[in-house]
Structure 1
Amino acid sequence: MRMLVGAVLLTISSMSLAQYAPMLNEALLREAMENLVENPSGAAFDYVTYKRNKDADDWTMCGRVSLKTAHGSDAGTEYFIGMVAAGEDRPYYYVFSVGGLSDQLCQLEGL
């Protein structure tokens, strides 16, 4: 009986852990922006929010990114939209759009 109760509690606790938004990994997010911005190494992020998708290991992500040019000068702040998915050894970040309609897409997602 104790083992059954322990198994049920373990299952419930692991299910509730899957509902927490992932911790932001800025290095992986910069890597995901590599083909979308001029200088991803100079990117700084704020207001990053998450919305859990139907798959508990999959989150839509929106936020703002402050960008730098290749020479290090300020290139402005843009919204971005992407996704983060849990992997076995690390999360995987995908960025769909930076700037443009990203802010409107984030609003449509409720973020």
Structure 2
Amino acid sequence: MSVSTHVLDSVTGRPAAGMAVALHAGDALVAAGTTDADGRCRLVEGPTAAGPHRLVFGTGDWSAAQGRETFWPEVALTFAVREPAEHHHVPLLLSPFAYSTYRGS
């Protein structure tokens, strides 16, 4: 399974570069990274177990670095891995008081 994300700042309409992202399976940390200049982060390239996984985004620290306040100190998105061989792309669209996500390709 591979896991990636793409974070977009809905306030500026630009990628959220430099945001910390961690991938967990249960209580175990599977991978961690930081979004690149395009707001993208690829976390896992190899196989992992089926079951619930959680992406945790460091939205509070990132917002503070942008000189902005946010209601979200972190955003945690839990998703189900049913086919470990598939690619899982989970984008985050972020603003100070709202966020949305979807299963990407």
Q: Kindly indicate which of the two structures has a greater share of residues assigned to helix.
A: 1
User: Which gives a bigger RCO, structure 1 or 2 (Cα 8 Å, sep 6+)?
Assistant: 2
Tell me the TM-score normalized by structure 2. Answer: 0.35
Tell me the TM-score normalized by structure 1. Answer: 0.34
